Structure 1
């Protein structure tokens, strides 16, 4: 699974870091399209990053209740 905002390819070597743009690899256009499609599908099934207030609202936690514990 790729990190947020990253391509689903990364270096396996300890001397290189970061993700790899599929277009820079010797891959067919079909493979590149499949990788990017899989990434979009995974992102659609993943929870979006939330602010603490959005998370509290989603969980039904009142900020006043939380402070009184």
Structure 2
């Protein structure tokens, strides 16, 4: 009976240790997920900024073309 009790106690200790290891791993993975979410959010913000910059460039180029056309028409007059 005493030997069985010791074996059960040993098994409980092993299970507790394994549980603690798994909790640590879950914590590590949670931190990694949070880091990845931050990285994705930063990439999204960068992509949005690039899209805004691209649109601004398109507008600037269109304005330049319009100015060139206007100047060309004025020069022809």
Give the TM-score range, shorter chain. 0.3 to 0.5
Q: Which has the higher helix share?
A: 2
State the structure with more CA Rg. Answer: 2
